[in-house]
Amino acid sequence: MQDMIADKREAVIRVSARPADTNAYGDIFGGWLVSQMDMAAGLIAARFSRGRAVTIAMDSMQFHKPVSIGDEVSVYGDIQKVGRTSMTIAIEAWRRHRYEEERVKVTQAVFTFVAIDEAGRPREIEQEK
């Protein structure tokens, strides 16, 4: 997966890391980052499938750098593959220290979502032709 930041795309989510999101060592919880990434992937999946979509898998999670309190975290996403009812979405999270311009990739993962109907059953994703 090529670094998405190079494309200068708009972030799906941008948030500041807060003190309540830290572990005992003062770094941001990995789970907090995963939840931000899952939310971003969910927004992409819902918009693309034009309805409710749920996470069914997360693969290839890699943490590269820590995130500190006050860092701006930007999450970027890209649909990699679309099936009949599912979507594979590549997600990257980047951090920027509060008073700096340099952005650093902190983690990445691939999420799989399934579009579902009101009863919670998989539904077909309408493809544009």
pLDDT of residue 1: 47
Structural domains in the chain (count)? 1
Query: Tens digits of per-residue pLDDT, 17-62?
Result: 999 999 888 889 999 999 999 999 999 999 999 999 999 999 978 8
Domain that holds residue 65: 6-115
| Angle formed at CA 79 by CA 94 and CA 98, multiple of 5 degrees | 15
In a domain, 111, yes or no: yes
Residue 104 sits in a domain of what CATH number? 3.10.129.10
Residue 21 tokens, joined: 């999101």
In a domain, 126, yes or no: no
In a domain, 120, yes or no: no
pTM for this structure? Answer: 0.89
Contacts of 89 (CB under 8 A, 6+ apart): 41, 44, 45, 77, 78, 79, 80, 110, 111, 112, 113
Query: Tens digits of per-residue pLDDT, 68-89?
Result: 999 999 999 999 999 999 999 9
Which of helix, strand or coil describes residue 123?
Answer: coil
In a domain, 90, yes or no: yes
**Are the beta carbons of 79 and 125 closer than 8 angstroms?**
no
In a domain, 95, yes or no: yes
In a domain, 124, yes or no: no
pLDDT of residue 7: 57
